[in-house]
A and B are shown apart, each in its own frame.
Chain A
Amino acid sequence: MADTKLIVTSSDSNNQLVQKTIPNINPDTDNNALKSFGQKITALTDSTLTKVERVDKTNISAAVAKLTPSITLDSTVVPSTLTRSFCLNGTNLPIDIETDGELSIVNNDNTTWCTTIRLGADTGVYRLYIGIVNDQTATNATAGHSVIVESKETDRYYAGRFELFTVLEG
């Protein structure tokens, strides 16, 4: 089961961004309900809601995560649900996108857009963003399409953590 948390970002009366992270979110909760939850949390303050994100994290053990030269992100149409299961056979990382949008992949430093995850280390954190405001270098993906993420490393054992960020509002 994915480890899911909600990040609620708001702007206070001084226009300072305030972030509230709420752990132990039920990963099966409907995204609209999570969005509403974030709105109601913010309604208890004088701040203005700016963003609600859910983060699904899963750990991949080295023993099962031998990656071949490429991994494939398979997206299929699954209305109103977001499947967070990850195939751990090292060759497929299936992600079901609940709505059309942009599937963007950023580097480990969370700053550089790219369409390739380069496995430069045995451990690391790679983030997959769905719903980020369009960037010219982001990969557009619509439900039902697949995005191929190429690995430049071959025959490596990889252990790491994948985090799926879904922007619910903002």
Chain B
Amino acid sequence: MADTITTKKSLQLTLSYTDGSTGSIIIDNPKDSVAAADIDDLNDCIVNNNILLGNSNSTCTGITQAESIENEKTKIELSE
């Protein structure tokens, strides 16, 4: 059986802006127990303080999606 190992974990946060564009923040090696409340807390910080700018200085309206991404590597045994 081929061995599969997780080589990298990341958390991708998708952001929306007032001009309709989107962007993202990718956080490498997130903790296993990221909760929705953690994302909400970050979202409030971004929106309430107008921290991030988009194209043409558009304003970030918030985090619209959070995805945990895992990259896996599987070794394929070659026939001799």
Where the two chains meet, the residues of A that have a C-beta atom closer than 8 Å to any C-beta of B are 1, 12, 18, 20, 22, 24-26, 28-30, 33-34, 36-37, 40-41, 43-47
User: CA separation between A1 and B56, bound complex, in Å?
Assistant: 12
Number of A-B contacts (CB under 8 A): 62
- A37–B53 CA distance with the chains assembled, in angstroms: 14
Is B25 an interface residue when CB atoms closer than 8 A count as contact?
yes
Contact-size category for B: 20 to 34
Query: How far apart are B56's CB and chain A's nearest CB, in angstroms?
Result: 11
B positions within 8 Å CB-CB of A: 11, 23, 25, 27-31, 34, 38-39, 41-42, 45-46, 49-54, 57
Interface class of chain B by DSSP? mixed
Interface of A is mostly: mixed
* Nearest 10 CB-CB pairings of A with B: A33-B49, A40-B42, A46-B31, A24-B53, A26-B53, A29-B51, A44-B30, A37-B45, A44-B27, A40-B45
- Whether the pair A46, B29 counts as a contact (CB closer than 8 A) is yes
